[in-house]
Structure 1
Amino acid sequence: MEKGSLPRILVVTAGYGEGHNSAARGVRDALTARAEVRVTDLCAEAMPGMFRLTRAAYLWIIARMPRLWKLMYEVSDKRNLAEKPIKGLAPVERLLEWLLREWKPDAVVCTYMLYPYMLDSLALRTGKTVPYLTVVTDSCVINKSWLCSESPLWAVTDPWTREIMAEKGLPPDRLCVTGFPVNPSLGVLAREHPVSWKEGDPFRVLYFAQRSARHARAELEAMLEAAPGLHVTCILGHRFRRIYPHIRDLRARYGSRLVVRGWTRRVPSYLSASHVVVGKAGGATVHEVLASARPMLVNFLLPGQEEGNALLLEKLGGGFHVRDVRALVSALRGMMADGGAQWRRMHENLLKADMTGGSGKIADLVLKLAEERTN
């Protein structure tokens, strides 16, 4: 790095689940004006056809066959990727090698668990090392795939996760509690847009429809019937065309109490206007909700890492898993009872936890790695 120039930071991610990409964007945003940043989905760029196929298979399995996903997760939790690398990823490692050689980053941030092993392999093969940091996008339940690299630093979401990883044999001095690298604006939302509620006011639910049309319809109808003051903003995302025809009549029936949106960049705005979030326990969603200090009811979770995300919500006293529609309705009514006493406690618990600033802390760590390399 030339004197006076900005350090170059390479952020490598993979689009298998939104958490990895969300973390990469959060780190990028926090490094703006402090570094020259390049975010690359190595799998998508190196093997586009195979990536599309495997990503589609991944999404199909988690949506339709969660028990198969659980089995796959348990198998991966027994494998040391340093000793038994996944075969067929040579093009991905070659692209990474090319980026290190041609773009010459001063440090690398890995938000996907396979890349640290590739960096270790390249260091052994070429004799050239680039400092890197591993961002662990899971909480409380940590798969072995995160644990067996020679990473100089691991950035983890919370003290419980740090303790679990230390118990599994990682050096405590290389485990840094940073929080999840969410969009930095969400921390501003929690501080500058406090939310309150009293009986008679609309109780606003932000609902992410991340399962089937049948589930979306059943949950929306049940929530809107639960209490006349309950209002729902439903985010359909890329499932809009698939789900909307099945819920169109609900908009006519419930009027302004139901707002439906497709894909949107305004999630922080919708969070700021909501009292509670209902959705799947994905890493990105849970940590965006935590950073904005809005309580969450988890209506679906994948066995394995998403169980850990739901557990973190419970440990912080800011949410829990509702196993079916009846439990969802009961939870919402409970949060609104007694003038919203339970909801207020959960909101205050999350404000006290202050799960903000993860992106900035990770940016500080990787810039320090880059500086140490050049000194």
Structure 2
Amino acid sequence: MSKKVLIMSASTGGGHNRAARAIKEELTNKNINDEPIECEIVDSLKLVNTTMDKIISRGYEKSAIYTPKAYGSVYRLSETGLISKNEFKDNLLTSFMARKFKKLLNTAKPDLIIGTHPFPMIALSTLKKNAYVEESPYSLNDPFHKYYQDLKVPPMMSVLTDYTTHSTWIQNELDYYIVGHEYVKELLVCEGVDSNKVKSFGIPVEKSFLSNRDKNTVLSELGLSPSKLTVLLMGGSFGAGNIKETLTELLDINRDFQILVITGRNENLKDKIEKKLHSYSGEKNIQVLGFTNKMNDILASIDVLITKPGGLTTTEALLKDVPMIIPYYIPGQEEENLDFLSNCGAALRTTKKYTLAVLLKVLIDDPSRLDILKKNIKSIRKFNSAQNIASLVVDILSNEEDINHY
């Protein structure tokens, strides 16, 4: 009988779903006892409640674009002693999610669960923590205790999609954590997680991303010169960050380079930038794109990336050897991603003195500085994350009776 894996994701940013797709791609190519592995991606917030999904997913998008400082404040509050680790599961919202997930578990009967977002894993940890044990009385303090009766929760694995940790990811009931780098593993160990549970495989990306077309062809199609230094300015799938203001800074830099701006799904931002460029009388070649599914080609064709440091954006840039300058970020996990990149010498961060203009001029005037950044990038990037995750899943499912063996 074939084994079944559920991948629990959520649409708060594009990275969680992209990581889920990368894992599914590899798992569907695996076999156990000559039987293919069944694999299904579940958008957990949509499964629980469409209204909740809209509130949380769109709320994240809006806060990322319009109120990033407020988002950062909530992020930092949840890391303080006011909300201790492993206690996120003890609230009504989590219990409500757990109730919905019980039906999913009983229907799908998965042999293993992978989470690329912390919310569903908190709820599933609630189920595992409170799973009904025969001959034991229910806890009268748990208003949803009846939903745990006769429930079997399979092994669970969380895939962290940023180069940092957060209390929401850390749950005693999890069997494995997949992280982007050994530094992140050490962060989890410092938080009390058993080091044997943590695998530093990297953040997974789809295999198709690793291939790309010829640089000259790609730049020519974009209306850019293959022979000129190319700067890509972007802000993730939502077009977040001070992109408009940053473009103004770039236009004022007295060096010869060309600019590609990608605004993602932020059509309003794209319109504003295009209107702004109508009055631009300088010599720089600037091209503007909205959402594109050609980032594998584009990142392989540019020289410098100016962006906010989202987990998947950062990973994709590292895999393509692209030096980064980070002038803006959403406070919280992106700020900590920037800490990681800076500590590894893989990106430059702007400050009040070291402005974007100063940093970019030095890179243009001294190309050896770009080579140093690329060398550092090569030392930390990790290929084959999704393949390694899939192999670990096969090992676990082939040895279900002794999950702690690994």
Coarse TM-score class (shorter-chain normalised): 0.7 to 0.9
CA change 1:96–1:213 in 2 (3 A) is closer
Distance 1:183 1:325 in 2: 38
Q: Which amino acid aligns with 1:162?
A: K
Q: Does residue 45 in structure 1 map to residue 47 in structure 2?
A: yes
Whether the 8 Å CA contact 2:262–2:289 is kept in 1: the answer is yes
Q: Alpha-carbon deviation of 1:326?
A: 7.2
Deviates more, 1:20-29 or 1:265-274: 20-29
Are 2:312 and 1:284 equivalent residues in the alignment?
yes
The CA distance in 1 between the partners of 2:400 and 2:239, in whole Å, is 49
What amino acid is aligned across from residue 111 of structure 1 in structure 2?
T
Q: How many angstroms apart in 1 are the aligned matches of 2:114 and 2:52? A: 24
Match of 1:207 among 229, 233, 242: 233
Q: What is the Cα deviation at residue 14 of structure 1?
A: 1.2
Alignment of 1:107-122 (within 5 A): 107-122=112-127
CA distance in 2, matches of 1:149, 1:18: 27
Q: 3-state SS of the aligned residue for 1:128?
A: coil
CA distance in 1, matches of 2:313, 2:124: 29
The amino acid across from 2:67 in the alignment is M
The reply on whether 1:15 has 2:20 as its aligned counterpart is no
Higher mean Cα deviation, 169-178 or 118-127? 118-127
- Alpha-carbon offset, residue 135 of structure 1: 0.8
What is the aligned length? 363
Counterpart residue type for residue 136 of structure 1: L
263-272 vs 248-257, greater mean Cα deviation: 248-257
Whole-Å Cα distance in 1 between the matches of residues 231 and 47 of structure 2? 38
Deviation, structure 1 residue 189: 5.5
1:87 lines up with 2:92 in the alignment: yes
What residue is the counterpart of 1:197 in the other structure? Answer: none
Counterparts of 1:143-222 in structure 2, within 5 Å, are 143-188=166-211, 201-209=227-235, 215-222=242-249
Q: Quick one: distance in 2 between partners of 1:362 and 1:101?
A: 25
Q: Deviations over 1:179-236 (max 9, x none)?
A: 011223344569x98xxxxxx9411112114688994333223324424531111111
Counterpart of 1:373 in structure 2 is: 400
SS of the counterpart of 1:237? coil
What is the alpha-carbon distance in structure 2 between the residues aligned to residue 209 and residue 270 of structure 1? 15
What letter matches 1:51 in structure 2? D
Most deviating of 21-30 and 238-247? 238-247
Q: Tell me which residue corresponds to 2:57.
A: 55
Residues 135 and 154, structure 1, Cα contact 8 Å, conserved in 2: yes
Alignment counterpart, residue 75 of structure 2, candidates 53, 73, 76: 73
8 A Cα contact 2:239 2:265, kept in partner: no
| d(CA) in 1 for partners of 2:26, 2:286 | 35
Alpha-carbon deviations, 1:286-337, whole Å to 9, x = none?
A: 1111122211111211222112211221232210222479711211111112
Name the SS of the counterpart of 2:8 in structure 1: strand
- Alpha-carbon distance change, 97 to 325 in structure 1, aligned in 2, over 3 angstroms: farther
Written as runs of structure 1 = structure 2, the 5 A alignment for 1:246-261 is 246-250=273-277, 253=281, 257-261=285-289
* Contact 1:62-1:302 at 8 Å conserved across structures: yes
Check whether the contact 1:81–1:117 (CA below 8 A) recurs between aligned residues.
Answer: no
Q: Deviations over 1:53-97 (max 9, x none)?
A: 232233333333333222211221132464352423455324422
State the Cα deviation string for residues 330-362 of structure 1 (Å, max 9, x = none): 111111123x11011111221233322222222
SS at match of 1:170: coil
Per-residue deviation at 1:129?
2.7
Hey, what's the Cα distance between the residues in 1 that align with 2:97 and 2:343? 38
Describe the shift of the 1:30–1:323 C-alpha distance in structure 2 as closer, same or farther (beyond 3 A). Answer: farther
2:15 match: secondary structure: helix
Determine the C-alpha separation between the residues in 1 that align with 2:44 and 2:268.
Answer: 30
Matched to 1:262, the amino acid is G
AA in 1 matched with 2:328: F
Unaligned 5+ segments in structure 2 are: 31-36, 132-147, 216-225
How far does residue 36 in structure 1 lie from its aligned partner after superposition? Answer: 2.3
Residues 336, 170 of structure 1: alpha-carbon distance in 2 compared, 3 angstrom cutoff: same
- Give the 3 Å change call, closer, same or farther, for CA 255–13 of structure 1 in structure 2: farther
Provide the C-alpha distance between the structure 2 equivalents of 1:256 and 1:327, rounded to a whole number of angstroms: 20
Q: 1:28 maps to what in 2? A: 24
Greater length-normalized contact order (CA 8 Å, ≥ 6 residues apart): 1
Q: 1:325 to 1:266 in 2, by over 3 A?
A: farther
Match of 2:156 in 1: 132
Q: More displaced, 85-94 or 357-366? A: 85-94
C-alpha offsets along residues 13-72 of structure 1, whole Å, 9 cap, x if unaligned? 111233322221221223232232211111123211122123223333333333322221
Q: TM-score, normalised by structure 1?
A: 0.87
Cα distance change, pair 315–122 in 1 and its aligned pair in 2 (3 A): same
Matched residue type, 2:370:
W
CA distance in 2, matches of 1:213, 1:296: 16
